[in-house]
Structure 1
Amino acid sequence: MPKIQVNGIDLFYDIKGEGESLLLIAGFLCDHTYWSLLMPSLVKNYQVIRFDNRGIGRTSAPDHPYSILQMARDAAALLDYLDIKKVHLVGHSMGGQIAQEFALTYPEKVQSLILLSTLARGDSLFNSVIATWGLLPGILDLKLYQQVIFPWIFTDEFYSTPGMIEMIINMAINYPFPATKHGLYHQSQAIIASDTKDRLHHLNFPTLLLVGKQDILTPIKFSEQLAQGIPHAELVVLEGGHGFLIESPEAVASAMLKFLNA
């Protein structure tokens, strides 16, 4: 799978399928593989582009401050390299923050916008949690780190499925491209610093907002704030928590495709 040199980093990307272009942007601690369970549904009708944000996966993790705008510029540089003029833009969590900044900076590249489990601006609780997540990799081993953050990501129903959490933790521990401590720290600081609240009215695209009913990290109130600020936004609440791309991939893919097909 290929890499390109953009904005001082080596950026890893993956393209599958044919049709209109769909750019998927993952969140904190997640690389392009976080979308894997949705891919069979999406690639049937779309050219799906995924990549690893700076600081994660097979993309470079420079040890200096990142910003959400900088990561949006990385995504735009990838599209320029691929000579893709316009995309349906999709972002989950931190990826949703990147997608907002991308759409505000490069509106000519955006055909529609899908924001999943994300926010315009963090409140004190959210920012405290994210700041802690950025610091803990320097203190905890990877297994314990996952055990600390997963209760914020997955629902009780998911935890109640025998062996499910253990399987996810083992997959993370054995993943051949582990995140760096400094990469996660710089991503966390970028999340906290991001604020699009007063610019949401500039997002003049067909927009779908998806959030899990049981999401305690980016609760429904964050998506409601986005819906109030974005002129053409539709808010859909699904079952599940922040990790509904893993818990309920069929429901998420179905909602996305219904919006895109319309």
Structure 2
Amino acid sequence: MPKVSLNGIELFYDSKGTGEPLLLISGFLCDHTYWSVIMPDLTAQYQIIRIDNRGIGRSSAPDNPYSLQQLAHDAAALLEHLNIHQVHVAGHSMGGQIAQELALLYPQKVKSLILLSSLAKGDERFNQIISTWGELLQRIDTKLYQQVVLPWIFSDNFYSMPDMIEQLIEWAVHYPFSPPVHSIYHHSRAILGANTINRLQNILCPTLILVGKQDILTPMKFSQQLAVGIPKARLSVIDGGGHGFIIESPKIVAKEMLDFLAQLNSKR
């Protein structure tokens, strides 16, 4: 699993599978491993490239303000390094915001977008949550932090599974590549400063917008706003999941993604 020096940092990435390239961008607090559960389905048909955004996982974590446009520039620089001229892009949550910026800054590179549990701009409640999460690890330990965050991520059904949440918390507590406290703060402020509402009409590539019906962090109204604003967007609502539906309903999410990409290929 290699790193590459670009834009003044070391960026970690992982590439698996063959076929058309599909770039996966993770969200707040998450590195490339967030996509692991759907990787077997995706790599069967595509070259899957996953990155650790600056500040996360095994990438560099400079202690200075970040912007989502800066993270999009990092992704574009990686594509240049890999000699990939066009790519399908999927982003979850903050990763979907980065994907929007990538499509706006480098429209010639992005063949299609898949925006999962994402948004153009947060409302006051969302912004308060993200602002608090950005500061909270300065005051409490990782275990308690996860206990605070996870109810916003997963559905009632997921919480009813015996020991599932406890296993996730233990995994997070012992994960060797947890982001530093300063990166969590800088990422939270990047999210708070992000706004594509008045630029959505400039995203001209085919776009699939996926949201869980039980998502209480980035509720359906955010995805509906994206679907209205992006000219070639289609919205699909998944019944059985919350914000973390990639983990809760991996087969359904993978099928939605693959069906969308297959329909694009069939139109050529």
TM-score band, normalised by shorter chain: over 0.9
Q: Secondary structure of 1:210's partner? A: strand
Aligned amino acid, residue 124 of structure 1: E
| Residue in structure 2 matched with residue 93 of structure 1 by the alignment | 93
Q: In 1, Cα distance between the equivalents of 2:177 and 2:203?
A: 35
Q: Secondary structure of 1:107's partner? A: coil
Residues 111-122 of structure 1: pairs in structure 2 closer than 5 A: 111-122=111-122
Residues 152-231 of structure 1: pairs in structure 2 closer than 5 A: 152-231=152-231
Q: Return the offset for 1:183.
A: 0.4
| Residue in structure 2 matched with residue 148 of structure 1 by the alignment | 148
Q: Secondary structure of 1:228's partner? A: helix
TM-score, normalised to structure 1, is 0.99
Q: In 2, Cα distance between the equivalents of 1:181 and 1:39?
A: 28
Q: Return the offset for 1:43.
A: 0.2
Residues 1-80 of structure 1: pairs in structure 2 closer than 5 A: 1-80=1-80
Residue deviations 1:110-167 (CA, integer Å, cap 9, x gap): 1111000000011000000000000001111000000000000001111100000001
Residue deviations 1:8-33 (CA, integer Å, cap 9, x gap): 11100000000000000000000000
Aligned amino acid, residue 43 of structure 1: T
The answer as to 2:267 corresponding to 1:261 is no
Residue deviations 1:168-216 (CA, integer Å, cap 9, x gap): 1111111111110000000000001000000000111110000000000
Q: In 2, Cα distance between the equivalents of 1:178 and 1:68?
A: 20
Residues 214-253 of structure 1: pairs in structure 2 closer than 5 A: 214-239=214-239, 240-253=241-254
Q: In 2, Cα distance between the equivalents of 1:100 and 1:28?
A: 15
Q: Secondary structure of 1:84's partner? A: coil
Structure 1 residues without counterparts, runs of 5 or longer: none
Q: Secondary structure of 2:14's partner? A: strand
Aligned amino acid, residue 66 of structure 1: Y
Q: In 1, Cα distance between the equivalents of 2:176 and 2:192?
A: 28
Aligned amino acid, residue 262 of structure 2: N
Q: Secondary structure of 2:152's partner? A: helix
Aligned amino acid, residue 169 of structure 2: I
Structure 2 residues without counterparts, runs of 5 or longer: 264-268
Residues 105-116 of structure 1: pairs in structure 2 closer than 5 A: 105-116=105-116
Aligned amino acid, residue 120 of structure 1: A
Residue deviations 1:61-100 (CA, integer Å, cap 9, x gap): 1000000000000000000000000000100000000000
Q: In 1, Cα distance between the equivalents of 2:73 and 2:168?
A: 31
Residue deviations 1:207-236 (CA, integer Å, cap 9, x gap): 000000000000000000001100010000
Aligned amino acid, residue 211 of structure 2: V
Q: Secondary structure of 2:65's partner? A: coil
Q: In 2, Cα distance between the equivalents of 1:149 and 1:207?
A: 29
Q: In 2, Cα distance between the equivalents of 1:137 and 1:250?
A: 33
Runs of 4+ in 1 over 4 A off after TM superposition: none
Count of residues paired in the alignment: 262
Q: Secondary structure of 1:62's partner? A: coil
